[in-house]
Amino acid sequence: MADIKMKPVDAVIVGFGWTGAIMAKELTEAGLHVVALERGAYRDTYPDGAYPKTLDELTYLQRWKLFQDMSKTSVTFRHAGSDSALPYRQIGAFKPGEGVGGAGLHWAGQHWRVHPEELKLKSHYQEKYGRKFIPNGMTLQDFGVTYEELEPHFDFVEKMMGTSGQAYWVKGQVVAGGVGNPFEADRSDNYSLPRQKTPYPAHLFEVAARECGLHPFQEPSANVSQPYTNQYGCQMGPCNFCGFCSGFACYNYSKASPNVNILPALKQVENFELRSNCNVLRIDLDSTKKKATGVTYVDAKGNTVEQPAALVIASTFAYNNARLFLLSGIGKPYDPTTGKGAVGKNLAYQTMSSVRMFYGPGKNLNGFIGAAGNGVALDDFNADNFDHAPLGFVGGGPVWCNPTGIKPISGIPVPTGTPKWGKNWKTAVKDNYTNTTSFEVHGSNMVYADNYLDLDPTYTDSFGQPLLRFTFDLKDNDIRMSRYITEQMQKVAKAMNPKSIQTSVMQIGDHFDLRPYQTTHWAGGVAMGLDRSTSVLNRYLQSWDVHNVFAVGSGVFPVGIGYNPTGLATALAYWSAKAIREQYLKDPRPLIDA
C-alpha cells in the first residue's frame, strides 16, 4: 500500500534523460499536465558543470560523479544460460547514467542518424543476400518504420541540438562540393551549424584515409561550432575543445543535453513538474491488465507514492525499460527455450576495436585538446555500404578519429611491451602523452536467440526488487565483422606514418569482458516492430498489451546499429510523440490493431 496518493495527472514520465525530456516537451505542448519522475538527483549546468570544479578527472571519471549510483542498484551478467550471473559491481564496460539529464548529460555528443537499410535489416539482407545469409540463431527484425518517415524528426533533433556538420545531400542535390558523407541518406536540410574545426590527429586521419581511397568527412557533432539558439529558445555557446566532454557536464553550454536544450523551456510552463530522487518501482495496471492506472514510486524521504496518470511513458536508460515492463507484468517475457515472448529479447551492444599510432617525442598531437562528439569519420564499412556477399557476416560500423581529450589518470597509452610501472613506464608516459592518437571501429552487434534480459533470481536493488539479468556474449559474426574492418583500416594507420601501431581487436572465441570501458550503447529489450509475437511495442512505440503505455529510448531498437544510438532514439521519441499527439489523445486505444 502506498503511503501517499497523489492527484491524477494526464501523463507520467519515468526517467528524465533525452527521450523523457522530449516526451515531456511534446506532451506539455499538447496541453497535458505532465509529471516526470527521475530516480537520481536534480542536475544542471550550474552547479554540476560549473567551471573550474567540473574539470576534475578523478571525481567525474574514476569516482563516477554523474554515473549511476552503483551502491543502490546494478545489473547482473552471465555469458550463457548455463552460468550463474554475477553483479556488475564497479563501472567498467559501460557507464549508465542517473539524475536529471540521464546519460544525455554526460554523453560525448556524437550525433548520427541511421542508415535506412538498418531500419529494415532482416528484409534488406534477405532480399539482397538471400534467406540463408542470416545465420541460425540471429533473430533479426525490422523496426517497422522507414527512414523517410523519420527524416523530419532527424532534422528536428539536429535543430534542437544545434548539431554542427556538413551535409552531402540536401533534397537529392550534392551540396558544398561533396565534402560531406557520400554514404548518408538524403536529407531535407543541412545541419544547424557549420562543421567543427579539425584537431591535428583527425586531420592526419583524414589525409591518410583519402590517400587510401576511402571517404572521410567531419562527424556531425552536438558539441557546437558557433553560438546557437534552438526552436525552444534554449541557448548554446561555441565549444572550445576543453577536452572534458564524455563523463562531464559541459561548463560552456556547448554540448547538447536535456538540461541545456530542453529543460530551460520546460521550466517556463505551468503544466510540467519534475520530481527528482523518485524511484519508480512499477507501472500499475487495472484488473484487466490492459490499462495502466499510473505508477508507484519511492520518493527521496522513503515514502511509497502512488501517482495516477492517464498515460505512462517509460523512458528509463536503454535496458531498464525491459526491467520496468517485467516488474510491472507488461508484455510477455521472452523464453529462450521456446523462443516465445518478446520482453527482454533483441538485446544488442556494440563491437569495438581500436588502432593506435605512436609517433614519439616532438610530434605534438596534443591529445588533451578535444571535443568528444567531434572528429573525422568514414562510413565505407558501415551498414551495407560494402558488399557483404563474399564476407559472410551481417553488419558493419563507422570508423573515426575523434580526439576526445586524453586525460592522464584514465590511462596514457604506451607502446606494446611497456611495463605498467617503474622507470620505463614513466619514460614511456613522458614520451607518448602528447604524441599518440587512435581511431576506433564502432561496430554493430547483432541480436541472437540466446542473448536476452530477464530478472535475476538472487541479487536485488536497495528497494528489494530483482536486478535485471543479462545473458550475453559476443558472437563470431560480430567479431568477424570487427576483425574485417580493423584489418582493412591497417593501411590507413600505416599511411598516417607513425613509429609503431597497436591494434586492439577481439579474437574469435573471446568472451565479453566487463572490466575495460567499451561503450555504453546497449539496445533492445522492448523492441518495436510490426508483429506482436516478436515485439513489445508497435511501430508507434505503444505497448501491444497496455495501450496507454509507451516506451522510448534505445531499448526499442529491435537490432543493433553501427552508429551511436542517441540520434535514432531521439528521432523515434519525436515520431512516437507525433502519433500520441495526432492520433492517440483524440481516441485513446491501440494505434495498430493486432
Partner 1 sequence: MIHIGISPARRAFLRDALAMAPAAVAGSTLARAVCAATAHPFKPTYFHPAEWITLNALVDRLIPADEQGPGAIQAGVAEFIDLQMNLPYGYGALWYMHAPFVKGASPLMGYQLEFSPRTMYRSALAGVARAVQTQHHKAFSELEDASKDSLITDLEDGKLNIGDVPPADFFAQLLQNTYEGYFCDPKHGGNKNMDAWRMINFPGARGDYMDWVEQYGKRYPLPPVSIG
Supply the minimum distance, in Å, between the C-beta of residue 90 and partner 1.
5
* Contact letters for partner 1, residues 363-402 (x by CB under 8 A): xxxx-xx---------------------------------
Q: Which of 3, 47, 53, 339 binds partner 1 (CB under 8 A)?
A: 53
Helix (H, G, I), strand (E, B) or coil at 513: coil
Asked whether 512 and 522 are in contact (CB, 8 A), the reply is no
Q: Which of 62, 276, 277, 418 binds partner 1 (CB under 8 A)?
A: 62
Supply the minimum distance, in Å, between the C-beta of residue 563 and partner 1.
24
521 part of the active site: yes
User: According to the binding rule CB under 8 A, does residue 514 interact with partner 1?
Assistant: yes
Tell me the angle at which helices 147-161 and 566-579 cross, rounded to the nearest 10 degrees. Answer: 110
The terminus-to-terminus CA distance of the chain in angstroms comes to: 34
Supply the minimum distance, in Å, between the C-beta of residue 40 and partner 1.
14
User: According to the binding rule CB under 8 A, does residue 57 interact with partner 1?
Assistant: yes
The residue assigned the cell 560494402 is: 386
Supply the minimum distance, in Å, between the C-beta of residue 73 and partner 1.
7
User: According to the binding rule CB under 8 A, does residue 244 interact with partner 1?
Assistant: yes
User: According to the binding rule CB under 8 A, does residue 513 interact with partner 1?
Assistant: yes
Cβ distance to partner 1 smaller for residue 21 or 369: 369
# residues contacting partner 1 (CB under 8 A): 67
Per-residue 3-state assignment (H helix, E strand, C coil) for 183-233: CCCCCCCCCCECCCCCCHHHHHHHHHHHHCCCCCEECCECECCCCEECCCC
Q: Which of 124, 153, 388, 521 is catalytic?
A: 521
- Residue 351 is given by DSSP the state E
Please state, as a whole number, how many other Cβ atoms lie within 10 Å of the Cβ of residue 502.
18
Grid coordinates belonging to 63: 569516482
Supply the minimum distance, in Å, between the C-beta of residue 42 and partner 1.
20
Cβ distance to partner 1 smaller for residue 323 or 539: 323
Residue 513, classified by CB atoms within 10 Å of its CB into exposed (0-12), middle (13-18) or buried (19+), is exposed
Tell me the window of 56-64, 165-173, 180-188, 289-297 that interacts with partner 1 (CB under 8 A).
56-64
Cβ distance to partner 1 smaller for residue 288 or 421: 421
- Determine phi and psi for 123, rounding to 5 degrees: -70, -35
User: According to the binding rule CB under 8 A, does residue 251 interact with partner 1?
Assistant: yes
Please state, as a whole number, how many other Cβ atoms lie within 10 Å of the Cβ of residue 51.
13
Residue 501, classified by CB atoms within 10 Å of its CB into exposed (0-12), middle (13-18) or buried (19+), is middle
Cβ distance to partner 1 smaller for residue 24 or 91: 91
User: According to the binding rule CB under 8 A, does residue 51 interact with partner 1?
Assistant: yes
Q: Which of 429, 449, 495, 530 binds partner 1 (CB under 8 A)?
A: 429
Dump the DSSP string for 142-193: --SS-HHHHHHHHHHHHHHHT-B---SEETTEE-GGG-S-TTSPP-SS--SB
Checking phi first, is residue 292 left (phi over 0); if not, alpha (psi -120 to 50) or beta?
beta
Closest CA to 99 of 236, 252, 232, 279: 279
Supply the minimum distance, in Å, between the C-beta of residue 101 and partner 1.
20
User: According to the binding rule CB under 8 A, does residue 421 interact with partner 1?
Assistant: yes
* Contact letters for partner 1, residues 447-466 (x by CB under 8 A): -----------xxx------
Q: Number of C-alpha atoms within 13 angstroms, CB side, residue 415? A: 16
- 57-89: string of b/e by CB count within 10 Å (b at 16+)? beebbeebbbbbeeeebbbbbbeeeeeebebbe
- Residue 59 is given by DSSP the state I
Q: Which of 4, 63, 339, 490 binds partner 1 (CB under 8 A)?
A: 63
Supply the minimum distance, in Å, between the C-beta of residue 422 and partner 1.
7
Cβ distance to partner 1 smaller for residue 6 or 514: 514
Can you tell me the distance from the alpha carbon of 208 to that of 206, in angstroms, rounded to the nearest whole number?
6
Checking phi first, is residue 215 left (phi over 0); if not, alpha (psi -120 to 50) or beta?
beta
Q: Which of 3, 4, 46, 58 binds partner 1 (CB under 8 A)?
A: 58
Tell me the window of 153-161, 238-246, 501-509, 542-550 that interacts with partner 1 (CB under 8 A).
238-246
Q: Which of 6, 55, 170, 592 binds partner 1 (CB under 8 A)?
A: 55
Checking phi first, is residue 576 left (phi over 0); if not, alpha (psi -120 to 50) or beta?
alpha
Supply the minimum distance, in Å, between the C-beta of residue 515 and partner 1.
5
Cβ distance to partner 1 smaller for residue 243 or 590: 243
Binding site for partner 1 (CB under 8 A): 51-53, 55-58, 62-64, 69-71, 73-74, 77, 79, 84, 86-90, 92-93, 197-200, 203, 238, 240-244, 251, 363-366, 368-369, 407-409, 411-412, 420-423, 425-427, 429-430, 433-434, 458-460, 511-515
- Give the active site residues: 521
